[in-house]
Amino acid sequence: MSAATITVGGADPYDVVIGTGVLGALPGMVGPKARTVAVVHAARLTAISGPVVHALEEAGYAVHAVPVPDGEAAKDVAVLAGLWSRFARLGLTRTDAVVGVGGGAATDLAGFAAASYLRGIRAVLVPTTLLAMVDAAVGGKTGIDIPEGKNLVGAFHPPAGVVCDLATLVTMDRADYVSGLAEVVKAGFIADPRILELVEDDPDGAARPDGPHTRELIERAVRVKADVVGADLKEAGLREILNYGHTLAHAIEKAEEYRFRHGYAVAIGMVYAAELARLAGRLPQSAVDRHRAVLASVGLPVSYPGGAWPELRATMSIDKKSRGATLRFIVLDAVGEPGRLEGPDEKLLEAAYQEVAR
């Protein structure tokens, strides 16, 4: 099957190439002006970063592999500063490039390093997890974490291209793959109900990288994100819908010291947002029930400990979607019809949480 190419529009359009064995697309994305390429990769992914390095060397670039810590530990100020120094020692110039290889943490870090070094150099991303393919690597958001919260420091820096080689997914741990599926399901709830139907028709297949609809699910999720960020790169309005479920999710991740899978937190956050919309009179019970059913069918959690609410509520106050003292949520008025709920009553917030508490 040939590769699919999805173009993300906007001031600096770029392509997302999806398929198996598609690393040949990398040199065209790095471009003819670059001489030196730094391949920033998660330390344990040498089996995947090696072919990336080889593909770029074959195209004539001077390529340097730069390993970074695995997982969320990569998104650290000290790691970022180390990359800046390494780039300087390698002699990277404004016409050179950074290629980020790995999961969402690695691509977030590599993207931010590229955005901030020399005030911005070219970045190409090679996501190797489902979560990174459908979310982190597409859209131009880059960033790191600080003790006060996740992704609070970063920049909008669209990549020059994204290469999603589906062959990398077969090496994923099942729990990590299912975690990434939460972002696919999210795309279904906010914009493309066909995604939900595909999951409902074959939950077991949806939860496996070798499932019959894996490529279609990924393509559909990427198209949803591409359409949104192409119209609104810097989250001036429309792009906020991609944060469905994320207000509570980021609070959960901070409470768990980032040891909780992102997709697990997003799944719980979506159920919470659905309950909030129901209690606000905006979403029918049937739609809330569908959230629980779809997410649970693929093995995603739909509840969280009740005693955590005070800590979670405090963390949500510094959520990036807040405006001053006003807390903002993305909610649904129906499947595929997202909207905003601003400044909900505290009793409503807590009542919705009690619906997801266990």
Which residue in 243, 275, 278, 321 is the catalytic one?
A: 243
Whether 239 is catalytic = yes
Q: Is 258:150 a contact under the CB 8 Å cutoff? A: yes
* Catalytic, out of 157, 186, 219, 235: 235
Confirm whether 243 is a catalytic residue: yes
* Residue 71 labeled ligand binder: yes
128 is in an annotated binding site: yes
323 SS3 class: strand
Residue 323 bears catalytic tag: no
Alpha-carbon gap, residue 145 to 76, rounded angstroms: 6
Does residue 151 carry a catalytic annotation? no
Handedness of CA 318, 132, 179, 227 (dihedral sign): positive
DSSP string spanning 203-272?
HHHHTSTTSTTHHHHHHHHHHHHHHHHHH-TT-SSGGGGGGTTHHHHHHHHHHTTT-S-HHHHHHHHHHH
Does residue 246 carry a catalytic annotation?
A: yes
Check if 291 is active-site: no
By the 8 A CB rule, do 131 and 183 touch? Answer: yes
The annotation status of 204 as a binding-site residue, yes or no, is no
20 is in an annotated binding site: no
Q: Is 289 annotated as a binding residue?
A: no
Are the C-beta atoms of residues 331 and 283 closer than 8 Å to each other?
yes
Choosing from 239, 261, 278, 321, the catalytic residue is 239
Query: Is position 33 annotated in a ligand binding site?
Result: no
Flag whether 197 is marked binding.
no
Q: 76 near 146, Cβ under 8 Å?
A: no
Whether 183 is a known active-site residue: answer yes
The reply to whether 119 belongs to the active site is yes
Would you say 185 is a known binding-site residue?
Answer: no
Report whether 5 belongs to an annotated binding site.
no
> Which residues line the annotated binding site for NAD(+)?
70-75, 104-108, 128-129, 141, 150, 168-171
| Annotated binding-site ranges | 70-75, 104-108, 128-129, 141, 150, 168-171, 183, 246, 262
Q: Which residues belong to the active site?
A: 119, 141, 183, 225, 235, 239, 243, 246, 250, 262
Output the known binding site for Zn(2+).
183, 246, 262
